[in-house]
Chains A and B, each alone.
Chain A
């Protein structure tokens, strides 16, 4: 199934929430409104035509200076039935969900694809998006007491952590 067919089916079910497919052919995707995302996710997984059973990756993009963060969910539908017992790729799509940079929230899809649990924790940690109804929303890569979200474009590097001078600060000391 081609990405545009997937978008058609999704648009049929959520005419208001689904945007235009992105023209860029190197990573075909479609925008979905944040409010409708969880409902759309359940639809993407359960609709017999789509059956997007694997969440491959969740990438957070900072669109700074635009006041938005974009979440890119890469989904794929894997089905048995190929030659020699091989499974087949029955369609893939990237879903783009935009949230505001300040206080951005979106409903967690960890109950739809358990794989999302750690991906969402990572996006929360590094970009500062809050996932509502996430089972265990904590920082995952940075320490619990870390300040700020390092993958934001306007992130300021700390000068010290727990009394340890950071690279920029120790360069000053040498002078």
Chain B
């Protein structure tokens, strides 16, 4: 037996070769992971070409959740498409509503009242926290820690209660709509929101102590699935996956939309370990960095929300278009910073209420495409660590 201990780190193939010496040759095996597998986070199938514990190649197969969203988009009027956008990234449906509404507003030249914009930012940031909480919980679950999942879903429940008070729905909201939002905030919403923020903010530190700086968790994720900033950009990665690689790029800051230029917040990025509280095993762009960017982003969302609570003006909540909203024969392409990355909508009008073409750029679709590149020469157990850190939602991949 080799002297060197077996590590989870795929940083060099040399380690693995020491474990499997030349005379112990194993047959290559094709292994289907999914489409029904807890760590593929939905109906994703990976075909793994394995040599013992080593994955030589992982080829993702998608399309199991294809519901023809783009074809529906060119068959119904723009406001009727809002419920379909809910079902793209179903963990952050508010941001999907927001992205499509912004695209339609830009195309139709529809003004949005200031109060509505604030309400939208509140909803988008709350939804970002809710989405990152699911990511935090399920990633812990993937790595064999069950309790973070329960804590993550407990906090998310408070956010869902807020959403339910605002629009009646807990998952598919259809709340943000061209021209504003469907209804004004209910009485007491801001008090409840402020109470939630006071309760939730210290919890993030608690969860960092619980999971982020847990030794076993660090060992499973640090240095695993490293993506260089060049690769991240070339593969079109966006959101926490891009920032995990150290690229300080966030549409809310770099190309502000809605009211994001009014708020004071920071853009967390992945950094090399050894400084601050970052464990020394961490390499910028690894699975741990991507995960930790989400944890830090929740704090920044809390900051934005506190500013919204203070600044929210009185006024109209919707500029309702008179009659049917007709889309002029123009084209827009617009991206918003979703929970998983840049969610883009290309909408082409042709003078009717029904758009001629709706193209959706799902951030998970682009982020998932890098798995084939990253999951090469890694250990089988690392596949779940890498996939969980990329945090895909299949509803958005398959559309």
Which A residues are closer than 8 A to B by beta carbons?
24, 26-27, 53-57, 59-62, 72, 74, 78, 80, 82, 84-89, 94, 113-115, 117-118, 126, 139-143, 150-151
Verify A151–B70 contact, CB threshold 8 A.
yes
Contact of A118 with B361 in the complex, beta carbons under 8 Å: no
Bound Cα distance A150, B269 (Å): 40
Task: Report the Cα distance A46→B235, complex, angstroms.
Answer: 16
A-B pairs under 8 A by CB, number: 99
Write the nearest CB–CB distance from B108 to chain A, whole angstroms. Answer: 11
17 A–B contacts, CB within 8 A, in A order: A26-B330, A27-B346, A54-B233, A59-B359, A61-B348, A78-B233, A82-B248, A86-B254, A86-B267, A87-B249, A89-B254, A115-B235, A139-B63, A141-B63, A141-B399, A143-B63, A150-B68
Nearest chain B residue, comparing its CB with the CB of A150: B71
The answer, yes or no, to whether B234 is at the interface (CB within 8 Å) is yes
For the complex with contacts A56-B335, A114-B370, A115-B369, 9 further pairs of A-B residues with Cβ separation under 8 Å are: A26-B330, A56-B361, A57-B346, A59-B333, A60-B359, A87-B254, A114-B231, A115-B235, A142-B66
Contacts of A86 in B (CB 8 A): 248-249, 253-254, 267
Contact B332 A26 (CB under 8 A): yes
User: Shortest distance in angstroms between B233's beta carbon and chain A's nearest beta carbon?
Assistant: 5
The count of residues in chain B whose C-beta lies closer than 8 Å to any C-beta of chain A is 41
Please measure, in the bound complex, the distance between the C-alpha atom of A89 and the C-alpha atom of B70, giving whole angstroms.
28
Known contacts A56-B236, A56-B335: A140-B63 contact under CB 8 Å: yes
Contact indicator A118/B253 (Cβ below 8 Å): no
Q: Indicate if the CB atoms of B331 and A27 lie closer than 8 Å.
A: yes
Q: Is A72 touching B346 in the complex (CB atoms < 8 A)?
A: yes
Cβ contact within 8 Å between B107 and A26: yes
**Given A53-B234, A54-B233, A118-B369: A24 touches B254 (CB 8 Å cut-off):** no
Q: Contact check: which of B247, B267, B335, B366 meets A115 at CB < 8 Å? A: B366
> In the assembled complex, how far is the CB of residue B238 from the closest CB belonging to chain A, in whole angstroms?
8
Which residues of B are at the interface with A, using a C-beta cutoff of 8 A?
Answer: 62-63, 66, 68, 70-71, 74, 106-107, 231, 233-236, 247-249, 253-255, 267, 269, 330-333, 335, 342, 344, 346, 348, 357, 359, 361, 365-366, 369-370, 373, 398-399
Q: A74-B333, A141-B399, A142-B66 are in contact. Are A57 and B359 (CB under 8 A)?
A: yes
Contacts of B66 in A (CB 8 A): 141-142
Contact B63 A142 (CB under 8 A): yes
* Among A78, A82, A84, A94, contact of B333 (Cβ-Cβ < 8 Å): A94
Chain A min CB distance to B62 (Å)? 6
Which chain A residues border B331 with CB–CB below 8 Å? 24, 26-27
Q: Are B366 and A27 in contact (CB under 8 A)?
A: no
Q: Is the CB of B236 within 8 A of A126?
A: no
Among B107, B236, B359, B398, contact of A113 (Cβ-Cβ < 8 Å): B236
B248 touches A114 (CB 8 A): no
Please state if A56 and B348 are interface contacts (CB–CB under 8 Å). no
Pairwise interchain contact A78-B332, C-beta atoms closer than 8 A = no
Closest 5 pairs (CB-CB, A-B): A115-B236, A59-B359, A57-B361, A87-B249, A141-B63
In whole Å, how far is A121's beta carbon from the nearest beta carbon of chain B? 9
**Smallest distance from the beta carbon of A108 to chain B beta carbons, Å?**
14
| Distance between B296 CB and nearest chain A CB, rounded to angstroms | 15
B contact residues around A141 at 8 Å (CB): 62-63, 66, 398-399
CA distance A139 to B234 in the complex (A): 22
Q: Are A126 and B70 in contact (CB under 8 A)?
A: yes
Q: Which residues of A contact B369 (CB under 8 A)?
A: 114-115, 117-118
Check A114–B373 contact: CB distance below 8 A. Answer: yes
Q: Which B residues lie within 8 Å of A118 (CB)?
A: 365-366, 369
A residues in contact with B74, CB < 8 Å: 151
Contact between chains at A27 and B333 (CB < 8 Å): yes
In angstroms, Cα B70 to Cα A86, docked, is 34
Q: Once the chains are docked, how many angstroms separate the CA of A141 from the CA of B359? A: 14
Residue of B nearest to A87 (CB): B249
* B229 to chain A: closest residue by CB: A80
CA distance A57 to B236 in the complex (A): 9
The complex places the Cα of A60 from the Cα of B365 at a distance, in Å, of 16
Please name the residue on chain B nearest to A115 by beta carbon. B236
Instruction: With both chains docked as a complex, state the minimum distance between the C-beta of B70 and any C-beta of chain A, in angstroms.
Output: 6
Report Cα–Cα, A86/B354, bound state, in Å: 39
- For the complex formed, measure the closest distance between the CB of A172 and the CB atoms of chain B, giving whole angstroms: 20
Inter-chain contact B332/A114, CB cutoff 8 Å: no
Q: Which residues of B contact A85 (CB under 8 A)?
A: 248, 269
Please measure, in the bound complex, the distance between the C-alpha atom of A60 and the C-alpha atom of B360, giving whole angstroms: 11
Complex CA distance for A2 and B361, rounded to whole angstroms: 23
With a CB–CB cut-off of 8 A, which chain B residues contact A54?
233-234, 236
CA distance A72 to B332 in the complex (A): 12
CB < 8 Å neighbour of A57 from B233, B234, B267, B344: B344
Query: CA A89 – CA B251 in complex, angstroms?
Result: 10
Rounded to whole angstroms, the CA-CA distance of A120 and B267 in the bound complex is 32
Partner of B342, one of A56, A88, A114, A140: A56
The distance in angstroms between the C-alpha atoms of A27 and B235, with both chains bound, is 23
Q: Is the CB of B106 within 8 A of A26?
A: yes
A53 x B233 contact (CB < 8 A): yes
Contact with B62, one of A57, A74, A84, A140 (Cβ below 8 angstroms): A140
Tell me the bound Cα distance from A133 to B399 in angstroms: 27
Q: Which residues of B contact A27 (CB under 8 A)?
A: 330-333, 346
